[in-house]
């Protein structure tokens, strides 16, 4: 019992675990839509594209989260526009925007006054142990808004997810639902920068949802189970980080990956037996 309680004596560990639980829920809900719509690589593109907005935010004296959110949404809108108005395939457009926005970010860091204060290592790998009450309130607010939005528009999102052409033919304004999902992905990436960073955020966005995808069939079940798995991965990862003295973000993602491997092995053996 002491092994479980000892880390909780420190406020930074308590804050980190609360943050991990919130992000486990948020990433699973948003990641489930990414997986069933085959938008996982778009999430990776957005995660790296936010780098272009950070130096601009510093230069304009705005919160980093504002610059990151705007850059993420702009990159996704550009992707949709180029894909729909040209013969270029989506994977090629993603690669182009991915590299271009990353290049813009690294260039602006050296050009814009004051932008060189950005801790690039912190942005890339995160630092969940450094979260404060303000970060928790922001993450809770974003998680609440996105979960509430999914609950209110679940039927419409379900229709759009599995039959976008039919949804458009039925009169749904599918471009607004696309923009909503893209904004949700961008918001999730923004709040995840503090914890796991740009390079690891995709692990938390897809691993819990993919694990749940192997075990259940319905989308709402996938989101619920994925949220539980994401929260568990965050807590278990924090304990491993504390006792093994390893990076917290990496530890969380590795636990999430381990859960996926267990689910894959379970389903593989079950299929072989039947």
Per-residue pLDDT tens over the stretch 161-204: 777 778 778 788 888 888 888 888 888 888 887 677 777 788 88
Please state which of the ranges 14-18, 54-58, 124-128, 230-234 shows the lowest mean pLDDT. 124-128
Euclidean distance between CA atoms 37 and 90, whole angstroms: 14
Percent of the chain with pLDDT over 70: 99
Q: Taking 80 as the threshold, does the pLDDT of residue 139 lie above it?
A: yes
Query: Residue 201 phi/psi, 5° resolution?
Result: -60, -35
Q: What mean pLDDT comes out for the span 208-213?
A: 93
Q: What mean pLDDT comes out for the span 104-126?
A: 81
Q: What mean pLDDT comes out for the span 3-22?
A: 85
Question: What does the pLDDT read at residue 237?
Answer: 92
Euclidean distance between CA atoms 149 and 24, whole angstroms: 17
Contact between 205 and 26 under an 8 Å Cβ cutoff? The reply is: no
Q: What share of the chain is helix, strand, coil (3-state, %, to 5)?
A: 85, 0, 15
Q: What mean pLDDT comes out for the span 112-119?
A: 80
Q: Taking 90 as the threshold, does the pLDDT of residue 261 lie above it?
A: yes
Q: How confident is the model at residue 254 (pLDDT cuts 50, 70, 90)?
A: very high
Closest CA to 207 of 255, 260, 250, 165: 260
Question: What does the pLDDT read at residue 194?
Answer: 67
Q: Taking 80 as the threshold, does the pLDDT of residue 268 lie above it?
A: yes
> Domain spans of the chain?
2-120+132-265
Euclidean distance between CA atoms 172 and 175, whole angstroms: 9
Tell me the pLDDT tens digit for each residue of 24-82.
999 999 999 888 887 777 788 888 888 888 888 888 888 888 888 888 888 888 888 88
Question: What does the pLDDT read at residue 257?
Answer: 94
Percent of the chain with pLDDT over 90: 25
User: Which fold would CATH assign to domain 2-120+132-265?
Assistant: ABC transporter involved in vitamin B12 uptake, BtuC (1.10.3470)
Question: What does the pLDDT read at residue 256?
Answer: 93
């Amino acid at each position: 019992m002491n092994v479980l309680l000892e880390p909780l004596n420190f406020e930074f560990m308590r804050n980190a675990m609360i943050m991990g639980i919130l992000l486990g829920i948020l990433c699973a809900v948003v990641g489930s839509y990414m997986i069933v719509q085959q938008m996982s690589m778009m999430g990776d593109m957005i995660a790296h594209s936010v780098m272009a907005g950070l130096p601009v935010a510093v230069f304009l004296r705005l919160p980093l989260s504002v610059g990151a959110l705007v850059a993420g949404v702009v990159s996704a809108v550009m992707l949709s526009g180029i894909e729909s108005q040209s013969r270029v395939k989506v994977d090629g457009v993603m690669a182009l925007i991915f590299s271009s926005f990353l290049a813009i970010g690294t260039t602006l860091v050296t050009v814009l006054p004051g932008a060189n204060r950005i801790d690039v290592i912190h942005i890339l790998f995160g630092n969940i142990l450094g979260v404060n009450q303000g970060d928790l309130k922001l993450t809770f607010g974003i998680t609440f808004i996105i979960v509430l939005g999914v609950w209110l528009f679940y039927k419409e999102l379900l229709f759009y997810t599995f039959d976008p052409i039919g949804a458009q033919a039925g009169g749904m304004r599918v471009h607004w639902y696309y923009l909503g999902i893209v904004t949700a992905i961008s918001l999730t990436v923004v709040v995840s920068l503090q914890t796991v960073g740009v390079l690891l955020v995709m692990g938390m966005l897809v691993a819990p949802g993919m694990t749940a995808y192997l075990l259940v069939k319905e989308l709402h079940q996938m989101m619920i189970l994925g949220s539980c798995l994401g929260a568990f991965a965050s807590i278990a990862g924090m304990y491993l980080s504390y006792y093994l003295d390893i990076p917290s973000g990496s530890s969380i993602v590795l636990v999430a990956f381990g859960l996926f491997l267990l689910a894959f092995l379970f389903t593989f053996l079950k299929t072989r037996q039947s």
